[in-house]
Structure 1
Amino acid sequence: MARKNRHHTALTTLRWPLRLTQAGLAAERIVRAFWPVMTCVMLGLSALMLGIQDQIAIEAVWIGVVLLVLALLGFLIRGALKFRWPNRSEAIARLDETLPERPIGALLDTPAIGTDDEASLKLWQIHQARMADRAAQARAPKPDLSVTRADPFALRYVAMLALAIAVLFGSIWKVGSVAEMTPGAASAAAGPSWEGWVEPPRYTGLPTIYLNDITADGLTAPAGSQVTLRFYGQVGDLVLAETVSGRTGVVPSASDPHQKFTIAESGHIRIDGTGGRAWEVQATPDTIPQISIAGPAEAKPGGVMALTFAAQDDYAVTGGEVRVELDLNAVDRRHGLRIDPELRDPIVVGLPLPISGNRDSFVEEVIEDFSQHPWANLPVIFTLSATDAAGQTGMSEAVGSILPARHFFDPLAAAIAEQRRDLLWSRDNAGRVAQVLRAVSHRPDRIIKSHTVYLRLRTILRRLESFTAYGMTTTQQEEIAQAMWDLAVRLEDGDAADALERMRQAQERLSQAMKNGASDAEIAELMQELRDATQDYLRQLSRQAQQQNQDGQSPGQQPDENALQMTQDDLQQMMDRIQELMEQGRMAEAEQALQELQELMENMRVTQGQGQDGQSPGQQAMEGLADTLREQQGLSDQAFRDLQEQFNPDARSGESQGNEGRNGGLGRGESHEGQGQGRGEGSANENGSSGSQPGADGEGSTGPGSEQGLADRQQALRQELQRQENGLPGAGTPEGEDARDALGRAGEAMDKAEDALRQDNLADAIDQQAQAMEALREGMRSLGEAMANEQQPGQGARDGAQQAQNRDPLGRNSSSRGGALNGEDNMLRGADVYRRARDLLEEIRRRSGDSSRSETERSYLQRLLDRF
């Protein structure tokens, strides 16, 4: 009796865990016994919901139904024979397995011996109490419903997937269509005897309409929507009548079980017969997209055209284009434009579309550079078109305007650009263009400052005359036009003096426009030209200062302590103030402010570093490398001139003492704009007499050294570089080792250039010399970094003055030897932090656009710009 009481108490405590465990066991056995039945049910139901019975013959449907019923009966009988309901003992055993030391079995157990021993009984009672505590923590285990071993091909998951697809894309109403397939069932079938859907075009984003759910008589749908109807029952019981498709010709029978047509216009749809219905359909037409030019075509910095447009559509604009045609009636037919132009295809540019957001209504800009097109700065007609997803195209009104492009302010560059336009206008202008270019180059000493520019102009002239004599082809026309464009750009983007002259001209034109009462649009355009010219002037000053610092040049003048230093924001504020005064009509004040701006820009100076006195070994090494670089540049220029004379002996260089180095002279080791004399005299005239300036035919006295003489000079320069490399400071530092590696590469390139010169291979020699110069520049940069790292604070007033003087026109520390920015500027606080950040960002932009820097450095700077 005591044993039964203990059993009853233990099982009463575990009543709910035992029940749940027993239910779990039952679920496991049901799933394992009847999973084939559930699989067959899901497969059959999914097939009916997807309407497969409507797509195949009725005989195949009934065969499938019979097979499915037989399979269900077989699997039900098999499952019933296999299934056995779990009893209480099995549930207790399953629950006890989940507990450590099986406490439930211990509670139901009795001692085999020692029942008369009081100590043994007390020990047994303690054991029973401990097992009772553990049994109280019992929790029903999760049932194991896996039938992987019985279903190795996972057929049950295939059935579940099919049922999910049927629920999403099918209909439960289709299941009843099987009953209608029985003889005489059509009249007795319950529910709908037809089904219908209206599917709007996908690009509209509208949902599908189920016609069985539309009880009202009215129906609104977009034009182009597809209507699908299915009739169930005997053929002819239901008949379709519609006036929305506009179908003509051969039309399917109105009593066909499957009807499909497209809504093209408003009308009605009617199903005649038992359970039929009718709708008045209002077809919503897809409107043609609208597009218009939202502003005049403007020229952005660099001659890039910006054309603002607005586009809208009821759904979305999917594409479009800009069509530009020459407005021949508006062209000023003078000079080279008097003859009829060659036929050219219109310019067609794709419309930019928003990357994100809706495309039903937006405003965007077409940004393209047409500066090199023959129609640049000529009257054109803009026509825009927009296309929607339906294939409809909307056109804008034709708008006449000048095709914005780059303007050339240098007189010679403007003349060459104009002749290039005339040549592209028609090849019949080739003779006239050649005459104008010959006239321009007749007295080059008056208008052409660079000997290299003169040689390039004469080369273009001779090739033009040669092509004209034998009939110029389209390819030759494009070749000459490209060469003329490159020359005009080189003339326009000249040195700081040219940039200053362009800025003065822009200021003069703006001042004259204010005096003449020009329109707001003209003043805004001239103001933008002034901004561009000012920015170009500042870039040229900064580039010139950097070049002088890298080449180790000393202008020989002391920096002015009162030299004007301005930030780019200050200049921007001054020009904004001028534009604001002009917009307010205060022209007198605006003109006075413009005059002040001109004086400030002309008084701006580039501060220089200290001279030769007190130079450190690193500075002396930098000066020596700069001299070597200049001499190598001179040798390369001389080799290039000799190469030109090999292909064109008549185009002689025309030497003079004032035209040396990279500008096309004797190659005495001068820099591009240098006027002093280097150490590599070459074959220059020792008595100092100058050759005559080149005349109209490019003739003048030349004295180029032979290739053997150039090879000897190249050998001497290589020996000098080796001597400098042996005494290079910065040994043991990473920067110093980088400088030595760079100079070693320069020496190897010089050796190869010497060998090429001795073999009369000028082209290969020029390539090797270019590599040597690039390696020299890298070595100088690495040496500058080593010098900056070795410099310690507190080196005296001279270093402080040197640091204060090494600033560019915007007041930024340029570090003459490539060193890092240092000093108290790095400790700025407050508003100066933001000013300094803007200055640094501008400096990064400038350096990223410097083609003389290595590709690795420019890529790194571009990544900085992308990040910040």
Structure 2
Amino acid sequence: MTGQHPDERDAERVRFDIFKSIDRLRLSAWLTLAFERLWPRLLPLLLVGTVFVILSWFGIFRMLPDLARLGLLTLFVLSLPVCLYILLKFRLPDHAEVSRRLEDVNILDHQPIAVQSETLATSKDDPFAQALWDEHRRRMAERIKGLKSGMPRTNIPELDPWGLRAVVGLLLVIAFAFSGGPLGGRLTDAFRSHSASNALPARIDAWVTPPRYTGRPPVFLTSAANNEEKQFTVPQNSTLVIRIIGGNGSERVTKTLPDGKPAEVPVKQAAKTEENAQPAKDQPRNFEIALETNTAIGLTDNGTVHSEWAFSVLPDQAPTIRFTKEPSSAVNGTMELAYEIKDDYGAASAQAKVEQIQPAAKDARPLFAAPEIPLSLPKRGADGGETKTTKDLTEHVWAGSEIHITLLAVDDAKQEARSETKTWIMPERPFSNPLARAVVEQRRVLALNANAKPDILNMLDAITIWPEETIKNSSHYLALRSIRSRLNLAKSDDQLRDVVAYMWQVARGIEDGALSEAERSLREAQEALRQAIEQNASPEEIEKRMADLRKAMNKYMRELAQQAQRNPKMAQAPDPNARELRQEDIDRILKQIEELAKQGSKEQAQQLLSQLNDMLNNLQMRQAQQGKDGQGDQMKQQMNKLGELMRRQQQMMNETHRLEQQRQNGMMQDNGQMGQEGQQGQMSDEEIAKALKGLQEGQGKLQSDLQQLMDDLNGQGITPNKDFGEAGKSMGEAKKSLGDADGGQALDQQSNALDALRKGGQDMMKQMQAMGQTGKGQGEQGQLDPLGRPRGDGTGSYSDVDRNMLPGEADIQRARQILDEIRKRLGNALSPQMEKDYLERLLKFD
């Protein structure tokens, strides 16, 4: 430059300053152009982030359910790749683009800025061309003085003509201010579950349900009484239930067994909806744990211990069973077993296992297995005591065989107990008729070996080959030929078993006649009633079974009496301690069985039915003898007449009391102005007086019947004492008072008459005993009931069942009240379901 002209040096200096300013201007234009390209591509990402921040600060993510929160968060996450893809299209401006940007902004033609950085394409050896190019650059440089880079132009208004981006910015400011308040959210809310904050506080109920057979009530662990208790003693096989309603579902239940290893208890699966097959949101979460050994239970919530319980489990002891007496049989051959069963909660079932000592022949084909003998169970909760079971096995083909008998008992936990084994001869029914005895023997041979069928056919042919001399009754001959035909046609074992059963019916018919059918019907009716009581049948079913039993009982007693008349040997008792059972005794027992069964007292009804069965098994009918025995029956008839008089007088007294009570009620209504005459169900004074006078005739009839009874007693050598006279006098006075419609006076006189009749009856019994008419000459037989127990009164009649076994009238009434109250609570729609479940278990408990 030292060789240059001063003017040229000044021009070079000017161009240097121009290019230096252009470089600064080019940098500004480069930044402006880069911003114009970056901002439209960065704005979507910023808007997505801004909306996310706005929603977080407004607490939207915290208020949304987890499913909606996760869905919205997923949308934001999926939008990020789209925004990044748009941003990746950004590229930086190059040198030429910057020059064009400056030329466009400053409205320069001929590219004066681009020329400054260009070189001449011609040869450098051409001085003229070079000078000309330099002059051109100088002139262009003069034009670019004072250039501007211009403002950025992002084209955002074209993309968002409504200016919604400003709304987002405004919401961002508002959300920022809102986030500082108590309801404001946090940026991390979108990534956390907020069900705990939105859920209702968890309600936790826990209870232990002992096995039903224990009879123990549930233990409510979370009740106010047990809230502070941590140690509980429960029966083995109890079930712990923990129910959680509400909460956030983070509750956990763990159990620790004696080995010390804790294990988490899974939630019992709840019912699922049909639409999404998912548990309902408000469905309670149940945890069920079977308590079979000592167990510790812990309930935690988010790692925090909520409750802890420790359970000591009482083991279920195995039952025991033993004979209290040797096996025996009743008069009619019914087997009787006396035994004792003990168990901590009562046995569930018991049976007698029978095995035949003498094994069957090697080539034999028996048709029947060992008999099944279910045993009666003692009442649950009873502390031991003897229990008795009777079973008529005389029809079984093993009857008369030597057997081994073992008692088995099983409790509800399936634990079994065995008694000692007794050797005994199974009782059999004796047959006095030779023909019946022959049929029974052949029946036994066929039942023990079906292969003996040809021999039995030959034997039947031999028996019936000369019926004129061996078989007096033609119906018996026809029955034997019927057996032979059935046996000949029988092919299968089932058909042979039918023949065996038919042979028993024929033998019973030959021996007893119609009595065998009556006894069979009676046994079937007893068994049907026993099963109905065992199965807790409805009162209508019990009433139907009782009607069938009464009908069968009447038929049996009638047939038994007819047989006694046909057989003179039965006219006298076979031993001096013969026991007697009257029809009124049977009716009284049947009525009590029906009442107990309808009230749900299953154990008492079954025991009473068993006692009735014992009476029938030991029953021996006696017929009246001539002379003294005939006179004894007449005395008994007079006692029955006296009892009927007392019953009628009691009914008369009850009716008088009812009418007098209505009169008193009417007077109370008149005095208190609580009602009016003629009200429905209330008789008027005139109607009451007329009804009282209507009883006068019946009272007079009672007085005349009493006089007739006194005359009959005089004719039989018994002098009625003054009490009968006093009773007749009181009856006459009551008749007069009824005629005067004086119910109050009549009631007193009727009561006096009833008391006098009782006293007169006692004196009459003493006179009968003195005359030897009540069994004094028969070893005090008249003082024993059909079970051999002393009678409760001096009348020689079976007065009542064991009062230690049956509940009294007050107990029965109380039981009815309890049952009515339970049913009332069950019918209340507002009663809690848990209470209803417990009451239903009380009704079904046995």
TM-score normalized with structure 2 length = 0.34
TM-score normalized with structure 1 length = 0.33
Determine which structure has more spread, i.e. the larger CA radius of gyration: 2
